[in-house]
Structure 1
């Protein structure tokens, strides 16, 4: 099989364009992965190749656990990992593209911007190659190339300076197919033929056979399961998931399917009700605080009634971020469920972004623009450094728990069971 990670020197260098094109090209047998805690890119990956994308996070999970996740889900001919930010960014948390490539022993394909440069690109590559000698950089693709002559100039310099780097090809500047398409927020509305045209144009001057040759991968056997064993229980969990509540790690879903005898997906926007025999409710993160999002769910009365009944029956609820806000009294002038005694306000700047340690022993990430109006009923502190000063970020009311923290379940099984009263 083949496996590789796509990286660059920073964000906004074209990783998404190249990843999109390769996922489309290999769509008949490809498993997408995303480095880090991102929820958005994996949703786009699935749209492109109709296969669930898996997060690889070496901050939330330890190395052996991430290796198990990668090998467990590398069930296709090709595994493609989309990196995050620049190649070494996140190294302080052990979660950079460099760290993941080295850990998994997979090739790194660097996408380098060639705008207004040629010899200097080789110097940049030398810096990336020598910063950490145990990196897995095997090849480069050049982006924003003005002509074939421009490409040949750069290629000649790189091949002259390096005997261990393949130059796979180039992406021309000002692609026609991308002129009216924003790969990212608009991807859900991109037509299939448009994706095909993008893929063809992006990959037009890239040697796919050479890519396959340098990214050969021998999958390791998962003989050691580096997590607590999951034993199925005869209970039912309801996952609240729709356009507002959409942040779901696929492996978290699989954990819930392995743990509970019955799993149902509830769509509040369609006013679907939580089953009366449901034992647990899991409300995902996402967006509920904006006017547009709130309008979608404002009149979901049957769903709200079923949630209140679930809480009234002293059954368990676990909610992340948008789920937390939804359970609160209000976000500014937007009335919420009033299940958790807290109010929030939407700010113009980020309140939290990045990885956090939680005082309950869980590691995860948070990203939000809301902040509580007061924290007198709050529990659990999120801090950037372990056991350091932080801010309160979770609320609890009997069997209902809401938190700003997003995390992964497989390596936090004991704590998950606590929150679900198991």
Structure 2
């Protein structure tokens, strides 16, 4: 067991007044700078997200997991933080949207575990008003405000005006306006693997982060309010490994990469052997696979290549004819439709396992935390997509939006296929996950 008296890591939650202020950039810069200083850094991401954790993993050199009081759960968050505190000198948690946005919000998580907040502000078009903004962020909740990282600071004089306006809140660090920013597309940042010179960009951000060593030293007094938390989950007993001896084939390439690391860990803990394959490379589903997992990603960016991947298409249809359980999430489902219309309007033939057609659109089509009802209870997760699907197939079920309780995404069942825009967080209900990947249940 780990108790709060044993937690020695410095920890902050990096938040902002809204999206677009630079909190991912600031968190990445801070992680890279501290790593270069010889610190052992662990980074978490608040809320459901796939892309920001990839960048933060690149910046820190360690896997980035999710913290969310509803999707992940309080006790699982507590255990993850306790484990990180055993391994690291520094824990950085990047918030989601604005500090108080959502239910639960980043502020809710900070208060739950006694984590101080580091506010990132875009100071590019303000000076003394920065103080009013940050004091409002602190007092509205309230939260424990550790300090401020001011982004897009023009000069030392500009930084001095911002610092003076903060009064009793320290200006922790500043970043200048970047000549080259991290590129974005419709679902967020461009994947780090696609950005030329990404490590040089991260090193430059770290070098440009003007850092107050005294303010950092003050963070060392922070203690997480974890109480007694299990440092690491115990391995499941043999009778709790319902996927033992079974192989789950998982699509993983530039078109299919949106999955929680915890999902892979859950499948392994349930006993499954994992094997990865690439539909983009026209690799077929492994012949000895007992189940197939098609996570989300960017099939719309690679639709032409997928359309000509005939070995892949035939193999997934053959697996379905054979009754192999197939779980397809968001982009995985899109690749199984009859056709996919990309953002330019070009229509491409997909695997045609699921009747219907998918089309990209300019407006956001789905966003937020949701739960999928199953015979084993609710499986929690989220949705985030800019496409819509027209299908004659009636939904077998619908997810439930959190916290409103209204209907969410359609869940389709066609033979051994379970498909939806819903991204499931597997640790929230391992029994439901085991059933989805089991032939008898499918």
Q: Return the TM-score normalized by structure 1.
A: 0.87
How many aligned residue pairs are there? 406
Cα distance per residue 1:172-199 (max 9 Å; x no partner): 3x3xxx3134353274324233321221
The answer as to whether partners of 2:330 and 2:420 remain within 8 angstroms in 1 is: yes
Structure 2 equivalent of residue 117 of structure 1: 126
How many angstroms apart in 1 are the aligned matches of 2:303 and 2:91?
37
Structure 2 equivalent of residue 298 of structure 1: 307
Structure 2 equivalent of residue 24 of structure 1: 32
1:213 aligns with 2:218: yes
RMSD of equivalent CA atoms: 2.6
Structure 1 equivalent of residue 366 of structure 2: 352
The answer as to whether partners of 2:249 and 2:289 remain within 8 angstroms in 1 is: yes
Give the 3 Å change call, closer, same or farther, for CA 305–211 of structure 1 in structure 2: same
How many angstroms apart in 1 are the aligned matches of 2:94 and 2:223?
20
How many angstroms apart in 2 are the aligned matches of 1:68 and 1:138?
23
The answer as to whether partners of 1:342 and 1:377 remain within 8 angstroms in 2 is: no
Give the 3 Å change call, closer, same or farther, for CA 223–375 of structure 1 in structure 2: same
1:413 aligns with 2:423: no
Q: Which residue, 100, 110, 127 being the options, matches 1:88?
A: 100
How many angstroms apart in 2 are the aligned matches of 1:115 and 1:261?
51
The answer as to whether partners of 1:141 and 1:206 remain within 8 angstroms in 2 is: no
Structure 1 equivalent of residue 383 of structure 2: 366
Q: Which residue, 336, 357, 377 being the options, matches 1:343?
A: 357
Shift of 1:246: 0.8
Shift of 1:37: 0.5
Shift of 1:116: 4.3
- Secondary structure at the aligned position of 1:17 is classed as helix
Give the 3 Å change call, closer, same or farther, for CA 58–296 of structure 1 in structure 2: farther
- Secondary structure at the aligned position of 2:69 is classed as coil
Shift of 1:372: 2.5
Structure 2 residue runs of 5 or longer lacking an equivalent are 1-8, 184-188, 342-346
1:40 aligns with 2:51: yes
Structure 1 residue runs of 5 or longer lacking an equivalent are none
Q: Which residue, 418, 436, 439 being the options, matches 1:401?
A: 418
Shift of 1:72: 3.3
Shift of 1:227: 11
Correspondence list, 1:36-185, <5 A? 36-74=47-85, 75-90=87-102, 93-94=103-104, 96-133=105-142, 135-159=143-167, 162=168, 165-172=169-176, 174=177, 178-182=178-182, 184-185=189-190
How many angstroms apart in 2 are the aligned matches of 1:124 and 1:259?
47
The answer as to whether partners of 1:37 and 1:57 remain within 8 angstroms in 2 is: yes
- Secondary structure at the aligned position of 1:142 is classed as strand
How many angstroms apart in 2 are the aligned matches of 1:227 and 1:317?
28
How many angstroms apart in 2 are the aligned matches of 1:130 and 1:364?
31
How many angstroms apart in 1 are the aligned matches of 2:403 and 2:204?
48
How many angstroms apart in 1 are the aligned matches of 2:313 and 2:217?
51
Cα distance per residue 1:242-265 (max 9 Å; x no partner): 100110111111111222341111
Shift of 1:21: 0.9
Structure 2 equivalent of residue 384 of structure 1: 401
